[in-house]
Structure 1
Amino acid sequence: LHQLDWIDEKTRAVFIQLTLYNPSVQLLTAVTLLAEFLPTGGIYTTAHFEPINFYTFQSILQLVCTILYIFFIIYFMIIEIRLLFELGLKYFHQFWSIIQLGIISCSLGSIGVYFWRFQETNRISQLFEQTNGYIYINLQLAVYVNDILTFLLGYCCFFSTIKFIQLFRFNQRISLFAETLKYCAKELISFSLMFAIVFISFLSLFYLLFVSKLSSCSSLLQTAQMLFEMTLMKFNASQISGADAFLGPFCFTLFMLLVVFVCLSMFLSIISNGFHHAKENQKEDQIMLSFMLKKFLRWTGLKKLNQTEIQEERDCRMRSQYVDSIDIFSNRIDQLLEAFDKIYVDQQVELLRLEKAGV
C-alpha cells in the first residue's frame, strides 16, 4: 500500500472490509479490520465481525407464529386506542399503559424494519446474482438495519417480560413485589436523585485525584465501575491506599460511610416500609387464589403434605371443633335478654286484653 501511494505519513487509519459467506449454514459475515495510526507512532488495531442471517423463517411454524403475533398486536392496539379515547390523558398515568405502548411500538417498529431488511436482502441477492459474487458487496447498510431490528426485538422482549408481572398479579409474592414498588415509587425516585448527586460527586473526586495513579480511574466509565464495585463491597483497599497515603484511605472511608452505610440504609428502609404497607393491605382475592391453588394441588395429588403441614391441618380442625365457654358467654347473655323482652311483651299484651274484656 505504501509503494502504491495508498498510505503515507498523513494517513491516520486503514480500513479493510470483506464479506464471507458460509453456504452450509446460509450465513453472511461482514468483516471490518481497522488499523489506526496513533500520533505517538504506534498502531492500534481492531477487528469487527457481524454475522447476518437473512433467512428468518426457516420453518412453517415460525411463519405461523409470526402471523399470529402480528394479529395479536393489532388486536391489542385496537384495545389501547379505545382506552386512550375513553381515559384521555389519564391513560398515560398508568404504568401498565406505558408498558403496553412500549410493546406495541417496538413490535410495529420491528415489522417495519423487517420489511426494510427484506428489501435490502433482495438488493444484495440481485447484485450477487448479477456478478456471481466476483465483486465486493458492501453489507454496512444491511448490518445497520439488522442491528436496529435486534435492538427493537430486545426491547420488545424486555417490555413483554415486565408484562408477565401483571399476568401473574394473583400470585402472592409477585403481587407483594409490585405493590411494594408501587407504594414506594415516589420515595425511590427522590432517593435516586439524591443518590445520583452523591455518586457523581464521588465519581468526580476519585477521577480527579487518582486519574494518574490508578488504572481503574483512567476514565470516567472505569471510575464509575470501580465505585459500583466498592458499593457491592468488592474492592482492593491496598491499591487505593498505595495511590496516596492520606487521600486514598480518607476518600475510601468517606465513600463507605456516605454511600454504603447511609444511602444503602435509606434504600433498605424505603423498601422495608413499602413491603410492610403492601403486606398489610394485601388483597383478599390473592389469598383466596393461593388457598384454592393449594387445595387443588392437594386434591390432585400433585403436592404431598409434609409432617408440619399435616400437624397444622390437624390443629386447625381441632380449633374449629373446640368452643370455649367464654367465647359464647356474650351470645348466651343476648339470648337471655331477648327471652326477658319476649316475656315482658307477652305480659303487656295479656294485660291489655284483660282490660279490654273488663276483667
Structure 2
Amino acid sequence: LDQQTRAVFVELILYNPHANLFSVVTVAVEFTTTGAAYTGAEVVTLRLVQHGAIVLLLLRGTLALFLLYFLLREGKSLLSRPVEYLSGFWSWVEVWIITIGFSTLGVYFKAQSIIDEVAEKRQSGSTPFEQYKSAAGWFQVYTYLLGFLICCTTLKFIHLLRFNSHVRALSVTMRKSAKPVLQFLFVAGIFMMAYTQAGNLVFGVKLQGYQNIQTSLQSLCMMMLGSFDFDELSGAKQVLGPLMFFSYQAMMQFILLSMFMAIIMDVYAEEQQDRAAENLRFLRILKETSVEIAGKMKHVSKNRTRESKQEEGNVIEPDNASRFDGVVSDFGKMW
C-alpha cells in the first residue's frame, strides 16, 4: 500500500461444517483522488458438497420430462391456431415457463459441473479462488432463474384456481383497478423519488445508508416497513432529521397507503354489487324458466285428465290435477 493505491481487494472462502455451506466473500475498498474511501462487500453462500444427489437428479429428470410434454402440447397448439395462441397472455406464460425451465436445467448442470470440479480439486488442496468465484456466479444465475420459474408457475397455478369465487373476485378486482392503481403508483413514485433525493442531500455526507440514490431509496423503503434508527437520523441533523422522518411517515403511511387501500376497496365493493346483480338476474331467469316449465306440465296434466274423463265417463275427483294447480300457484307466490 502506498499513495498510488486506488483499490484493495480481499477475497476469502469460509466454510461452516455444521450447515455444510461455503461462503465466497469479496471485500473491496476504493480510494479516490480526494482521499475518500468507498467500501463494498459481496457474500455468496452455496452448498458445494451435495447429499442425496441421486434424488435431486431424479427430480430434475422428472422436471425435464414434464417440460418436454408441455413443449409438445404447446407446439401443437401453436401450429393449429398460431394467431389465437400468440395473442393470448396465458400462452406466453406457458412459453416463459418452458423456456425458463430448460434454461434453469442447463445452468444447473453447468454450475454442478463446476462445483464437482471444485470439490475434486479441493480434496487435493489446490483449488484457486477463481473457480470458487465461477461456481458462485453460476449458482447465483441458477437461483435467479429458479425464482423466476417459481413466480411464473405460481401465476399459472392462480390462473387454474380462477373458478374459485375468492380467486375470481381477486383477479377481477385487480383487472378493474389496474388503471387507477397505475396512476396512483405514478404519483407515489414522484413522492418517493423526491424523498430519496432529499435524504441523499441531507444525510448523504454523514450516514452511509444515504450516501447515494440507490442506498437512500433502500433506506426509505426499509423505513416504510418499520426498520429505521431515529436516533441516527436526529443525530445527523437535529432539525431536518426528525422533520423529514415524520413527514415521510405521515405521507406514506397515512396518506398514500390509505389512498391505495381506498382504490382497491372501492373496486372490490363495485365488484360485489355486480355479483349481487348477476345473482338476482340468475334467480329471475330461474324463476321464469321454472314457472314456464310448471305451466307446461299443468297444461299436459289437464289434457290427460280431460281425456281420462271422456273415456271413463266418470267425474274426476279434484285430486292430482287440483293438487298440482295449487303447487304451481304457491310456487309463483314464493317468487
Does the TM-score normalized on the shorter chain lie above 0.5?
yes
Map of 2:72 onto structure 1: 78
Report the CA distance between 1:70 and its aligned residue: 1.0
1:143 counterpart = 2:109: no
3-state secondary structure, aligned to 2:128: coil
1:133 counterpart = 2:133: no
Map of 2:312 onto structure 1: none
1:153 counterpart = 2:146: yes
Identity of aligned residues (%): 27
Pairing of 1:52-67 with structure 2 (within 5 A): 52-54=46-48, 58-67=52-61
| Preserved contact between residue 204 and residue 212 of structure 2 (Cα < 8 Å) | yes
**Structure (1 or 2) with the larger CA radius of gyration:** 1
Map of 1:291 onto structure 2: none
Higher normalized contact order (CA 8 Å, seq sep 6+, divided by chain length): 1
Report the CA distance between 1:256 and its aligned residue: 6.5
Pairing of 1:235-274 with structure 2 (within 5 A): 236=230, 243=237, 249=243, 260=253, 262-274=255-267
Structure 2, unaligned runs of 5 or more? 277-290, 307-335
Distance in 1, Cα, partners of 2:204 & 2:118: 48
Report the CA distance between 1:145 and its aligned residue: 1.2
The one-letter code of the counterpart of 2:104 is S
| Preserved contact between residue 203 and residue 236 of structure 2 (Cα < 8 Å) | no
Report the CA distance between 1:181 and its aligned residue: 1.0
3-state secondary structure, aligned to 1:9: coil
Distance in 1, Cα, partners of 2:6 & 2:81: 58
1:96 counterpart = 2:90: yes
| Preserved contact between residue 48 and residue 119 of structure 2 (Cα < 8 Å) | no
Sort the Cα spacing of 1:42 and 1:164 in 2 relative to 1 into closer, same or farther, 3 A: same
Sort the Cα spacing of 1:23 and 1:48 in 2 relative to 1 into closer, same or farther, 3 A: same
Distance in 1, Cα, partners of 2:206 & 2:15: 47
Pairing of 1:1-359 with structure 2 (within 5 A): 7-18=1-12, 30-32=24-26, 34=28, 49-54=43-48, 58-85=52-79, 88=82, 91=85, 94-121=88-115, 123-124=117-118, 132-134=124-126, 136=128, 138-139=130-131, 140-209=133-202, 211-212=204-205, 217-225=210-218, 227-228=220-221, 236=230, 243=237, 249=243, 260=253, 262-282=255-275
The alignment of Structure 1 onto Structure 2 pairs a total of residues equal to 281
Report the CA distance between 1:264 and its aligned residue: 3.4
| Preserved contact between residue 49 and residue 119 of structure 2 (Cα < 8 Å) | no
Moved more, 29-38 or 195-204: 29-38
| Preserved contact between residue 29 and residue 52 of structure 1 (Cα < 8 Å) | yes
Distance in 1, Cα, partners of 2:111 & 2:148: 18
Q: Provide TM-score, normalisation by structure 1.
A: 0.59
Measured against aligned partners, the alpha-carbon deviations of 1:306-329 in whole angstroms (never above 9, x if no partner) come to xxxxxxxxxxxxxxxxxxxxxxxx
| Preserved contact between residue 173 and residue 264 of structure 2 (Cα < 8 Å) | yes
The one-letter code of the counterpart of 1:66 is R
| Preserved contact between residue 124 and residue 137 of structure 1 (Cα < 8 Å) | no
Structure 1, unaligned runs of 5 or more? 1-6, 284-330, 347-359
Distance in 2, Cα, partners of 1:138 & 1:241: 43
| Preserved contact between residue 231 and residue 260 of structure 1 (Cα < 8 Å) | yes
Sort the Cα spacing of 1:168 and 1:239 in 2 relative to 1 into closer, same or farther, 3 A: same
Map of 2:315 onto structure 1: none
Measured against aligned partners, the alpha-carbon deviations of 1:259-282 in whole angstroms (never above 9, x if no partner) come to 555543432232123212433455
Distance in 2, Cα, partners of 1:237 & 1:22: 36
Aligned Cα root-mean-square deviation (Å): 4.6
The one-letter code of the counterpart of 2:170 is F
